[in-house]
Amino acid sequence: QKEVEQDPGPLSVPEGAIVSLNCTYSNSAFQYFMWYRQYSRKGPELLMYTYSSGNKEDGRFTAQVDKSSKYISLFIRDSQPSDSATYLCASTTDSWGKLQFGAGTQVVVTP
C-alpha cells in the first residue's frame, strides 16, 4: 500500500486562478506534513510545513491537513506562470524522521 498518494496531473490553470492540490495518506502515525515545490532539474524547495491538523497560510499559499480523513491540501491563490512546477507532498512521523513523498503533481499556469 502506498503511504502517500498524489495525482501526478498535469494540472493546467489560467493565470490568476486558484490552484488546488491534494494528497491522501495511509499511515495514522504521520504528524508532520510538508509541501515542496520542484522545478525541473532542481531539488525540492520547502513551501509549507505543518504539524497535525489545521490550516496554515503564507502569502498566496494555504496548506490544510485533515487527519481524520488523512487528507492534505495546498491552495495557491492568484497563480502566476512562475508557479509552474511539480508540487510534492510529504509526511513523516517525527520531525527528524524520513519523509514519505507523494508522486508529485505537475502544475502549468498559462498566461
Partner 1 sequence: EPEVTQTPSHQVTQMGQEVILRCVPISNHLYFYWYRQILGQKVEFLVSFYNNEISEKSEIFDDQFSVERPDGSNFTLKIRSTKLEDSAMYFCASSEVETGDQPQHFGDGTRLSIL
* Dihedral (CA of 25, 3, 87, 47) sign: positive
Q: Residue 41 interacts with partner 1 (CB under 8 A)?
A: yes
Q: Residue 57 interacts with partner 1 (CB under 8 A)?
A: no
Within 10 Å of residue 23's Cβ, how many Cβ atoms?
Answer: 26
What are the grid coordinates assigned to 44, written together? 525540492
Strands (E), 8-81: 11-14, 19-25, 32-38, 45-51, 54-58, 61-66, 71-76
Q: Residue 104 interacts with partner 1 (CB under 8 A)?
A: yes
Q: Residue 103 interacts with partner 1 (CB under 8 A)?
A: yes
Q: Residue 23 interacts with partner 1 (CB under 8 A)?
A: no
What are the grid coordinates assigned to 35, written together? 509541501
Closer CB to partner 1, residue 2 or residue 77? 2
CB of 65 to partner 1, least distance (A): 14
CB of 26 to partner 1, least distance (A): 15
CB of 15 to partner 1, least distance (A): 27
Q: Identity (one letter) of the amino acid at 54?
A: G
**Residues at the interface with partner 1 (CB under 8 A):** 32, 34, 36, 41-46, 49, 51, 88, 90, 95-104
